[in-house]
Amino acid sequence: MKREDYIRAIAGSFILISLLLAHFHSSYWLLFTAFVGLNLLQSAFTKWCLMEKILGKLGVPCDRC
């Protein structure tokens, strides 16, 4: 898998986990869901993603490199 695939999988997992936590624990977990969504939206416009930098440091190959 390439870096972009990992980012999509991590973001999707974060959203699903936070929705489960909101359903079974506290609705405040929906704030985390919104945070992930906002980060995805801003990265679409700015082309900068913190998770991409973290995965790069971990040695995950880049799609555009």
Domain-located, residue 27: yes
Compute φ and ψ for 56, nearest 5 degrees.
Answer: -60, -40
- DSSP letter at 59 equals T
Instruction: Give the tens place of pLDDT for each residue, 2-34.
Output: 888 999 999 999 999 999 999 999 999 999 999
Domain-located, residue 12: yes
36 contacts 15 by C-beta, under 8 angstroms: yes
Domain-located, residue 14: yes
Q: What is the mean pLDDT of residues 41-60?
A: 92
Domain-located, residue 23: yes
Domain-located, residue 65: no
Give me the number of domains the chain comprises: 1
Q: What is the pTM of this model?
A: 0.84
Domain that holds residue 24: 3-57
